[in-house]
């Protein structure tokens, strides 16, 4: 590894954070462009939706935007308007405050939430957490039946 690679090791600004309420260990990370999906977060609870770039509704919405306006925030607003509300009654938004998945406390350390994801602290551990990840994914990520009909 040369020096440039060392500098780039943390290119997504990963950082351990601690929930201000329950002290759960969490990890903030800029949303990776390699993930091929958008995450939008409920504005009232820790749920999020996982919208694939290739989701047919997502591409239809993106294609319908005025071509002169390709701003990320414009696309997010268009997606937000079409998403089915969260089971808790909240709405999924790109800029919703990020929350602790355990106690739902707002993570004030993340002052500009757009484009930032929050993961459990154990997610990045070297140990095998595959089954934990499956349980977590099933509980906190919505990846199907995303849209209002
Ligand atoms: Zn908490
Ligand atoms: Zn919710």
In a domain, 65, yes or no: yes
For 95-146, write each residue's pLDDT tens digit: 999 999 999 999 999 999 999 999 999 987 778 889 999 999 999 999 999 9
Helix or strand holding residue 116 (H, E): strand 116-120
Q: What is the pLDDT of residue 81?
A: 97
In a domain, 86, yes or no: yes
Predicted confidence band of residue 42 (pLDDT cuts 50, 70, 90): very high
Q: What is the pLDDT of residue 1?
A: 44
In a domain, 119, yes or no: yes
Number of structural domains found in the chain: 1
For the chain, what is the total number of helices (H) and then of strands (E)? 4, 7
In a domain, 147, yes or no: no
Burial label, 5 (beta-carbon count in 10 A; 0-12, 13-18, 19+): exposed
Domain interval for residue 103:
10-142
How many angstroms separate the most distant Cα atoms in the chain? 52
Cα of 120 to ligand 1 centre, how many Å?
10
Cα of 30 to ligand 1 centre, how many Å?
20
In a domain, 58, yes or no: yes
Cα of 31 to ligand 1 centre, how many Å?
21
Which residues are close to ligand 1, an ion, with C-beta < 5 A?
Answer: 19, 21-22, 24, 100, 102-103, 105
In a domain, 3, yes or no: no
The set of residues, in sequence order, having a beta carbon less than 8 Å from that of 13 and lying 6+ positions away, is 28, 29, 30
Global pTM value? 0.89
pLDDT over threshold 50, residue 13: yes
């Amino acid at each position: 590894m040369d020096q440039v690679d060392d500098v780039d090791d943390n290119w997504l600004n990963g950082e351990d954070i601690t929930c201000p309420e329950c002290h759960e260990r969490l990890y903030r990370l800029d949303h990776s462009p390699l993930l091929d999906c958008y995450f939008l977060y409920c504005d009232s609870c820790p749920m999020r939706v996982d919208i694939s770039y290739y989701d047919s509704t997502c591409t239809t919405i993106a294609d319908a935007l005025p071509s002169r306006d390709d701003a990320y925030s414009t696309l997010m607003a268009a997606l937000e308007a079409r998403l089915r509300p969260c089971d808790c009654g909240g709405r999924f938004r790109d800029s919703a405050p990020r929350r602790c998945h355990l106690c739902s406390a707002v993570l004030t350390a993340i002052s500009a939430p757009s484009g930032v994801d929050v993961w459990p602290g154990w997610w990045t551990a070297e140990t095998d957490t595959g089954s934990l990840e499956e349980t977590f994914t099933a509980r906190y990520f919505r990846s199907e039946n995303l849209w209002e009909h």
